[in-house]
Structure 1
Amino acid sequence: MTGAAQPPDGLAEAKLAAQLFILAPRALGGIVLRGGGPARDAVLDMIRDTIPSRRMPPHVDEARLLGGVDIVASLTAGKSVMQSGLLTEAEGGALIAPMAERMTDALAGRLAQAMDSDAGFGLVLLDDGIEADERPPAALTDRIAFACDLSGVTSLDYESRLCPDQVPISAVEPASDETLTALAGVAMALGVDSVRPLIFALTTARAHAALNGRTAVAQEDVQAAARMVLAPRATQIPEQTPEDAESPPPPPPDNPDTPVDSDSSQSTESIPEDLILEAALAAIPPDVLDLIAGTRAGRKAQGGGSGRRAKSKLRGKPLGARPGMPRDGARLAIIDTLRAAVPWQPLRRLEQGRETATGHLQVRKEDLRIRRFEERASTVTVFCVDASGSAAAARLAEAKGAVEMILAQAYVKRSEVALIAFRGNGAELLLPPTRSLTRARRALAGLPGGGGTPLANGLTLARELGGSIQSRGNTPFLVFLTDGSANIAADGTPGRKQAREDAHAGARALAASGLDALVIDIAPRPREDAKTIARIMQARYLPLPFADAKALSNIVIAAQPDAPSNAQPA
């Protein structure tokens, strides 16, 4: 690979994706448009002006989506009046879903089921997310060919790629076996292990050929398919082959005087896989590169800017209503209750000997529906600082600065910070979970240092504090700053052998608790002791012998389960 390929322009790529989607909305599934502003509006207008489109409300109910009872018409007519659903109305065109990053799993499941059952529409997901995990549900993005990020687009200058000789996609011949082999090789090299993206890539290559007036798939079409479909789904960077290990040139024809048919040679020529892979690598988004490089590998998605999701009766993101009584703080869902009661009105009137359509609406206990909500729990970052030894002053200075910097983001991220120090014969909670910067500075000012390393006590206290935080519905994240060299046992007696055994036992107990943790090795040189502790507690390990407070703060923020996509370690 030469590395000469240039990253595509965001707006041009999004408009090209929209043109391809318009050609085959059902076969390509849809398109994700991330980031608001005029750029996204321009792409959206292109879709709406070309194919029929229906807009789906963010909190659409099941009856409006799939079809069901029309409440107003039913109450007026005195009998059940059915209405068509959005999925039916969007057939032959596009269904536009705003605020897709907040879509519930239940709604995403219904849409995915409709797409799997040969739905007659394509899906346009409008993604306004900012944080790393504020993304549309994976159940839908896996069924959609294109994902375009327009959040960084500042110019609307765009040169149309429409070809005056454009042909319908049905006129394009199916891709050859060589093309399929090349795309499959690129997918394997990028770590794309699903068949669906490969099918999308083949359809995209044919649609790209149709846009450019070709009836056969060319190398340019395959490169575009790899760039637009496979690159955003990459999970690994392929190993580069030496540049001198080039493939030998093809042998000359047996009879040089025999003329070569240019059309036949063009149709049988295999497409170089290296060129396709090069185009795909140039289009891999920066956040995907970060994940591949391991900056946030293996992280659990817990929610943007806050902790885990939790069901609530009073506040949060609205979920679908469910049968139940409006008590213990639960609120009555009036519309859903009426929708459940209306179909039974004729039968209930007959039960009372009234065959006319007049009379009051009869609502019974089994019709009642209550509202549900989902709210985010707060994140609590717990610093567990090894305050022992001659380097304690430097370590504590780093921890103090990092705590203050992370607290500065507490009001935005709804997060809290706690601080544990272990030294001498035990561990101590110096700063309970708080968002108060003043309180934190007061506690940090008198943080002691020096003495032995009771690592086992620090692990135990961190696990107990993490469990207490979880019991209150919050999300703990433990950050250990230590070199892993324990020399004080759990009972406070000196001795490296027993101290090491107690520390390993504490690490196993912490692993069993399932708490997210990060071990930062702050020794002058990385030590095997800290690495072993991280492995036993199933935590991430990061050697960081020389770091100031800002670097430490960046590392902790980038490593958190709810880290934003642009968080970078220093």
Structure 2
Amino acid sequence: MTHYPFTAVVGADDLSLALILTTVSPAIGGVLVRGEKGTAKSTIVRGLVDLLPPHSVVEGCRFACDPERPDPTCPDGPHDADVSVVSRPAQLVELPVGATDDRVIGSLDLGRALGAGEAAFQPGLLAEAHRGILYVDEVNLLHDHLVDLLLDAAAMGRNTVERDGVSVSHAARMVLVGTMNPEEGELRPQLLDRFGLTVEVAASRDPQLRAEVVRRRLAFDSDPVGFAATYAAAQRELADRVASARSAVEKVELSDWALSTIARVCAGFEVDGMRADIVTARAAMAHAAWHGRASVAREDIRAAAVFALPHRRRRNPFDAPGLDEDLLDRLLGDEPHEPEPTDPEPTDPGPDGAGPDGGPDDPDTEPGAGNDAQPHSSESSSSVDPQHDSATKETQPARAADDAPQASETSASASDEPGVVPAGVAAAGTPFRAVAFTLTGLGSGEEGRRSRAMTRTGHTVGASTSRPGRLHLPATITEAARHRGTRGTAYGRLVLLPGDLRTAVTQGQESNLVLLAVDASGSMGARKRMEEVKTAVLSLLLDAYQRRDRVGLVTFRGTGAEVSLHPTSSVDAAARSLSTLPHGGRTPLAEGLLVATKVLATEKLRDPKRRPLLVVVTDGRATAGPDALDRSRAIADAWGRTGHQSVVIDCETGRFRLGLAADLAARMGATHVPLGEVAAGAIVDSVANAREEWRAGRAGAVPSRKVA
């Protein structure tokens, strides 16, 4: 298969440099590529493998053991000193999002188990990727059980399998490269920290650059071999430079000044743990080797920090990756001027990073002249594109909310004039840790970390003849043994037939759909109610992110309702939508309930197995249109007949209360929670036992407030 040449990619300077650094020094820990769709993330990663030098392996070893340092516990070993050695190209192994855990870590070889009666091990993708690259496209959509397997392998450098009568451990050291679109959801913090470097990519807005991208892509699609031949010389030159840097990186000097500067930068950005310091040091050494320097300089540390720190300074999923480059420059300080051996007097650098002779700091020329994919200098490659910086700011809902103009209480009040909707924007407070809530019963939805469900992974609770899944070996052997008297044995072994096969029935956790229907009318803006509601909703989003739920947002104000956010797993998109949510005008409660019902019905068609939860936040008033209250009651009655779980947060305050929200909750069969009792944080608490309380209330029992 012919890959699109790495040197032919246009407008990806930062990404190219990050990938090159991790190939120069695999100990950096890989690269996470974040960016919008259609930005050549997968194309450039697949082209990287053509730049890697081949390596020697023990002939016949399925685990790619290094002949100079063979794994003493290799399942195909032990390997003698005089083993045969072969050379093989670097491996790029792709991990599909829908892969099974057996395919990733390896499993029992069924052919040999059923044919020869041997408990032999069949290696998985982790064994194939050893000493190579493991590439995960859309890594943020990876199932949790696969994420856990990757975390174990990345932390230990080994893959250990203990299942189905197999006990195997083998080396699994690889460069982890992942790509993701943040709009489709964020990555778990544990896996995020395992990536050494991270890069933000975005499509260029330069018409000439975009035209060149299209021109090259069309040329490659029409003649892949001929297009690759055009860039063959540039590819060889770049591959030679990578090999030279790999051999020189271990000799690069990391001075006490450089080490202290790295520690000061990491401490200044308040990153967690020490992995950031280690990764920054390794990346700085790789950057120096890439540019032919014998010791780490200030620009090497700066380039490394731009890639190694942004994703490690996040405190919660609402914080978008990014660095304050002004702060970075202040933390870096001035590089000490030490005289070179051939130059006793230090000289000032020329303009734009030029040396004293007016030439560039780095004498090396980039391979492939005119190729925008290669880094041109350490300064240009380590700088952050202004578009990236602006995009980063847009994804910080907390800042956006703080900077948003706040409306006065009078402007947020409800208007008596039809069609007039005075609006204000309230800022959400700091999100808190939400109390976990689960749906009762046993579901069968998408795997997550919320409610009990029958899933593909988890603890084994039984065996089945029809349910797809991994082989349940004990149950299979037991079934065959039951027929031993009638079948006899073959060469002294148990006879197994296809009808004896049993698969494991496993129970784990699922994710749910949480739809928030928020009253954003003028009455909600009084006494900072909207601020409390937004804080609670933001906390629900944080909890949903951690538990892999999907979240949607329906808002109603003025004369209608709208889907402010269609159900998604992207917590960033949800937080941005919430931060700009205005309030004001009349209360179209019926329209809000109707839109929420339609959203859930649509999602039911898309994903029938995902169980929903509706949370309505309102004071129960219905003031928009004729017969507004009667229409809202009719829709609430229809919802109550569905039996779906729901909760109504009563935001009505004051001495005289109409009790409209309590009546709404009764009609919906929902749990009614007065805002005065639960405050902002108790919105989450009330959800925890919503279904249990509703059932208890219908049975005449006293509802329990205990959170499960």
TM-score range, shorter chain: 0.5 to 0.7
Give, in whole Å, the separation in 1 of the partners of 2:650 and 2:559: 11
Matches within 5 A, 1:324-343: 324-325=461-462, 333-338=467-472, 341=475
Give, in whole Å, the separation in 1 of the partners of 2:255 and 2:31: 25
What amino acid is the match of 1:382?
A: V
Offset from partner CA, 1:102-125 (integer Å, 9 cap, x none) = 222222122111111134112122
2:557 to 385, 391, 400: 400
Offset from partner CA, 1:246-299 (integer Å, 9 cap, x none) = x99999x9xxxxx98566888xx9xxxxx99x9579775733674386337855
What amino acid is the match of 1:219?
A: R
Residue 445 (structure 1) aligned with residue 524 (structure 2): no
TM-score (norm 1): 0.59
Residue 86 (structure 1) aligned with residue 222 (structure 2): no
Indicate how the Cα distance of structure 1 residues 68 and 164 shifts in structure 2: closer, same or farther if over 3 A, else same: closer
Matches within 5 A, 1:263-412: 286-287=391-392, 290-291=395-396, 294-295=399-400, 298=430, 313-316=443-446, 319-320=456-457, 322-325=459-462, 333-338=467-472, 341=475, 354=489, 355-360=492-497, 363=500, 368-370=504-506, 374-383=510-519, 385-387=521-523, 400-401=557-558, 403-404=560-561, 406-407=562-563, 410=566
Aligned to 1:176: 255
Residue 124 (structure 1) aligned with residue 177 (structure 2): yes
Indicate how the Cα distance of structure 1 residues 428 and 164 shifts in structure 2: closer, same or farther if over 3 A, else same: closer
Give, in whole Å, the separation in 2 of the partners of 1:198 and 1:249: 19
Identical counterparts, % of pairs? 19
Describe the SS at the equivalent of 1:141.
Answer: helix
Indicate how the Cα distance of structure 1 residues 444 and 301 shifts in structure 2: closer, same or farther if over 3 A, else same: farther
- For the Cα contact (< 8 Å) 2:137–2:179, is it kept in 1? yes
Residue 69 (structure 1) aligned with residue 205 (structure 2): no
Give, in whole Å, the separation in 1 of the partners of 2:143 and 2:100: 11
Describe the SS at the equivalent of 1:320.
Answer: coil
Indicate how the Cα distance of structure 1 residues 71 and 388 shifts in structure 2: closer, same or farther if over 3 A, else same: closer
Indicate how the Cα distance of structure 1 residues 112 and 381 shifts in structure 2: closer, same or farther if over 3 A, else same: same
Give, in whole Å, the separation in 1 of the partners of 2:262 and 2:250: 21
- For the Cα contact (< 8 Å) 2:103–2:124, is it kept in 1? yes
Matches within 5 A, 1:22-33: 22-32=23-33
Indicate how the Cα distance of structure 1 residues 197 and 350 shifts in structure 2: closer, same or farther if over 3 A, else same: farther
Describe the SS at the equivalent of 1:191.
Answer: coil
Aligned to 1:6: none
Deviation at 1:179, TM superposition (A): 1.5
What amino acid is the match of 1:45?
A: R
Describe the SS at the equivalent of 2:457.
Answer: strand
What amino acid is the match of 1:92?
A: R
Offset from partner CA, 1:216-250 (integer Å, 9 cap, x none) = 21222112101111234445976979x99xx9999
Offset from partner CA, 1:77-123 (integer Å, 9 cap, x none) = 45544201221221101112233112222221221111111341121
Aligned to 1:553: none
Matches within 5 A, 1:495-534: 506-511=675-680, 513-515=682-684
Give, in whole Å, the separation in 2 of the partners of 1:191 and 1:63: 39
Deviation at 1:55, TM superposition (A): 1.6
Deviation at 1:371, TM superposition (A): 7.4
Deviation at 1:41, TM superposition (A): 3.1
Residue 150 (structure 1) aligned with residue 310 (structure 2): no
Give, in whole Å, the separation in 2 of the partners of 1:151 and 1:401: 37
Aligned to 1:204: 283
Aligned to 2:22: 21
Indicate how the Cα distance of structure 1 residues 218 and 371 shifts in structure 2: closer, same or farther if over 3 A, else same: same
Describe the SS at the equivalent of 2:177.
Answer: strand
Deviation at 1:410, TM superposition (A): 4.9
- For the Cα contact (< 8 Å) 1:70–1:81, is it kept in 2? yes
Give, in whole Å, the separation in 1 of the partners of 2:46 and 2:524: 63
Give, in whole Å, the separation in 2 of the partners of 1:445 and 1:516: 34
Query: How many matched pairs?
Result: 434
Give, in whole Å, the separation in 2 of the partners of 1:58 and 1:105: 11
Aligned to 2:269: 190
Give, in whole Å, the separation in 1 of the partners of 2:132 and 2:21: 13
Deviation at 1:65, TM superposition (A): 2.0
Indicate how the Cα distance of structure 1 residues 446 and 72 shifts in structure 2: closer, same or farther if over 3 A, else same: farther
Residue 138 (structure 1) aligned with residue 189 (structure 2): yes
Aligned to 1:435: 595
Offset from partner CA, 1:333-392 (integer Å, 9 cap, x none) = 334145564677898888997333534357598x642476744414222215454999xx
Aligned to 1:59: 98
Deviation at 1:488, TM superposition (A): 3.6
Give, in whole Å, the separation in 2 of the partners of 1:389 and 1:115: 49
Indicate how the Cα distance of structure 1 residues 341 and 211 shifts in structure 2: closer, same or farther if over 3 A, else same: farther
Offset from partner CA, 1:430-475 (integer Å, 9 cap, x none) = 5563327999xx97324999xxxxxxxxxxxxxxxxxx9xx94569
Unaligned residue ranges in structure 2 (runs of 5+): 1-9, 53-89, 158-171, 205-209, 217-230, 315-321, 350-378, 402-428, 448-454, 527-554, 600-621, 630-639, 660-673, 687-708
TM-score (norm 2): 0.49
Offset from partner CA, 1:410-447 (integer Å, 9 cap, x none) = 588999x9xx9999xxx9965563327999xx973249
Describe the SS at the equivalent of 1:45.
Answer: helix
Deviation at 1:185, TM superposition (A): 2.4
Give, in whole Å, the separation in 2 of the partners of 1:309 and 1:262: 73
Describe the SS at the equivalent of 1:336.
Answer: coil
Offset from partner CA, 1:158-212 (integer Å, 9 cap, x none) = 9999596643254432422211222232223333233212211111111111212
Give, in whole Å, the separation in 2 of the partners of 1:67 and 1:388: 56
Q: Which runs of 4 or more aligned residues in structure 1 lie more than 6 Å from their structure 2 counterparts after TM superposition?
A: 157-161, 236-241, 247-251, 263-266, 280-283, 307-312, 343-353, 411-415, 420-423, 436-439
Give, in whole Å, the separation in 1 of the partners of 2:33 and 2:525: 53
Give, in whole Å, the separation in 1 of the partners of 2:27 and 2:148: 18
Aligned to 2:245: 167
- For the Cα contact (< 8 Å) 2:245–2:286, is it kept in 1? no
Q: CA RMSD in A?
A: 5.7
- For the Cα contact (< 8 Å) 2:560–2:592, is it kept in 1? no
- For the Cα contact (< 8 Å) 1:100–1:135, is it kept in 2? no
Describe the SS at the equivalent of 1:184.
Answer: helix
Indicate how the Cα distance of structure 1 residues 73 and 339 shifts in structure 2: closer, same or farther if over 3 A, else same: same
Give, in whole Å, the separation in 2 of the partners of 1:312 and 1:207: 51
- For the Cα contact (< 8 Å) 1:96–1:123, is it kept in 2? yes
Describe the SS at the equivalent of 1:324.
Answer: strand
Give, in whole Å, the separation in 2 of the partners of 1:220 and 1:447: 69
Give, in whole Å, the separation in 1 of the partners of 2:507 and 2:258: 52
Give, in whole Å, the separation in 1 of the partners of 2:11 and 2:591: 46
Describe the SS at the equivalent of 2:293.
Answer: coil
- For the Cα contact (< 8 Å) 1:228–1:280, is it kept in 2? no
What amino acid is the match of 2:135?
A: I
